[in-house]
Structure 1
Amino acid sequence: MSSQKQEVVKRITVPEITARKGGEPIVMLTAYDAPTAAIMDPHCDVLLVGDSLGMAVHGMTSTVGVTLEMMILHGQAVMRGSKRALVVIDMPFGSYEAGVEQAYANAVRILKETGAQAVKVESGPEVPATIEYLVKRGVPVMGHVGLLPQSINIDGSFKAKGREAAEHARILQSAHDTADAGAFSVVIEGVAEGLAREITEAIARPTIGIGASAACDGQVLVTPDMLGMFDWTPKFVRKYADLRAEIGRAVETYAADVRARRFPAEVETYFSKKSALP
């Protein structure tokens, strides 16, 4: 047995993220599978198993069709692939809106079956009471204000929020209510810089922006977007790679090699072992 001690990697905790308010920016990305989570884990403070997986992985047109079972399955994969980052799992549409008891049962199921440390909810008018109920019973909750993807059927499109005075005030109040209810951090999505800055300065919890400017305490992007997996991405996305083109070239080359019988070559082929000489 080796005399050297194996280094134990400790996960970042909810209190550690909360303590980052006004400090070092929080790095968060979405994760949906074990190998990708393993690659991102050393660099991210938070991995979000977002219900964006419905669109980014399963080809859905919105997040509305995502189920609790899907979130748990992907959450289990991300937990297997990561060691360091705090893992947060979205509660999908329909899993927390009917009442606090429904929300608690589903949140507990997510945490028990995945081992993740927190859940995230989109903060509509009735949601702060649910957040308070969950937090008081030991479920850490990340809030989400501004553009709410689960409300696509009401809003009709994914468009920036808070540009008009009434909507600005409503989102600001929602952020206050979400933080006051006990959310350990608040995602701000798709709002003007001024509103993101106002929310960040007004609440005691760290804010994590997505399309909400550098004024926030941290940033999150949908990973396939920033890796260039799609032809179109929102205005707020910066592409850090062009994996769509890279994968296309790799598959094209593989297909050509197979058709020309260049693959597999001798080095990639198994042969029978020669009998040992007497």
Structure 2
Amino acid sequence: MSASAPTSRRLSPPDILGRKGGDPIVCLTSYTTPMARISDPHCDVLLVGDSLGMVIHGLPSTLGVTLEMMILHGRAVVRGSEKSLVVIDMPFGSYEESPEQAFRNAAKVMVEAGAGAVKLEGGQHMAETIAFLVARGIPVMAHVGLTPQAVNVFGGYKVQGRAEDAARVRSDAEAVTRAGAFSVVLEKVPHSLASRITSEIAIPTIGIGASPDCDGQVLVVDDMLGLFTDFRPKFVKRYAELGRTAGEAVAAYAADVRARRFPGNEHVFSDEAPEPKK
């Protein structure tokens, strides 16, 4: 097979693990079939993040997201993609009680949505659960640093791992590595700490508000496209302003309807059927 030939299968968790220290891993969130189709040719991982609660459903945080919501959106992303590894977030309350609870719900997500892996938040205290899932055939992407499902414990979306707290975040990253996670998201941690963790652990780090030294990067796609504008974290780079463009398009449509410019003759049907082409 030539280097330019299209891939014949999806990327797998072992493929992503094998990228440690290699070409940067490109990851974006995706929640719908159209966005998956747009992102899939360019990404290695499509993350069906529980951020969909805020971005798609208008919730104030991720805490109200249900397992059913994740499965519904996960199916849509799987249908809209061909090559990217699809990873689905386990929502708050679906895995923390016990490894057994986590397995039941993660298995449901994997089977019903067709995902290639799940992601769950937490470090040392979730290591046993990660090991339990991996031993039973469920690949796990871990998530340490700022874990949004624990926002009430942290007292807000604050940077994690500064000063003496760096030891905790390092220990979390080491714990999920030993437990068998194939990669770990580092969210909102200082540049130097993320760089150090990346050099110390054997699995890829995927940064969001972390460091360019991470093995990969992830952003919420609606943030980077300018579609979600309720707030703009420092770590978001806007690659487009589609929200503004969409607003202008809707305003133009409304003006055309009110002025009876739309629909035009080219958008309506005549009384007579067109002659069949010979």
User: What TM-score range do you get, normalising by the shorter chain?
Assistant: over 0.9
Q: Structure 1, residues 11-64: CA drift from partner, whole Å, max 9, x if none?
A: 111111000000000000000000110010000000000000011111111111
What is the aligned partner in structure 2 of residue 34 from structure 1?
33
TM-score computed with the length of structure 2 as normaliser: 0.94
Q: Structure 1, residues 180-231: CA drift from partner, whole Å, max 9, x if none?
A: 1000000000000111011101100000000001010000000110001215
Matched residues in 1 for 2:23 and 2:273: separation?
62
Q: Secondary structure of 1:113's partner?
A: helix
User: Within 5 A, what are the aligned runs for 1:171-186?
Assistant: 171-186=169-184
Give the aligned CA root-mean-square deviation in angstroms.
1.3
Matched residues in 2 for 1:30 and 1:168: separation?
27
User: Within 5 A, what are the aligned runs for 1:94-243?
Assistant: 94-165=93-164, 167-229=165-227, 230-243=229-242
Matched residues in 2 for 1:30 and 1:274: separation?
46
Structure 1, unaligned stretches of length 5 or more? 1-6
| Identity, % of aligned positions | 58
Shift of 1:8: 7.0
What is the aligned partner in structure 2 of residue 16 from structure 1?
15
Q: Structure 1, residues 57-84: CA drift from partner, whole Å, max 9, x if none?
A: 1111111110000000000000011011
Q: Structure 1, residues 220-255: CA drift from partner, whole Å, max 9, x if none?
A: 000110001215310010000001110000000000
Number of aligned residues: 269
Matched residues in 2 for 1:252 and 1:180: separation?
54
**2:187, 2:209 within 8 Å by CA — same for their partners in 1?**
yes
Matched residues in 2 for 1:272 and 1:187: separation?
60
Matched residues in 2 for 1:187 and 1:20: separation?
14
TM-score computed with the length of structure 1 as normaliser: 0.94
Q: Secondary structure of 1:120's partner?
A: strand
Shift of 1:272: 2.2
Matched residues in 2 for 1:236 and 1:49: separation?
19
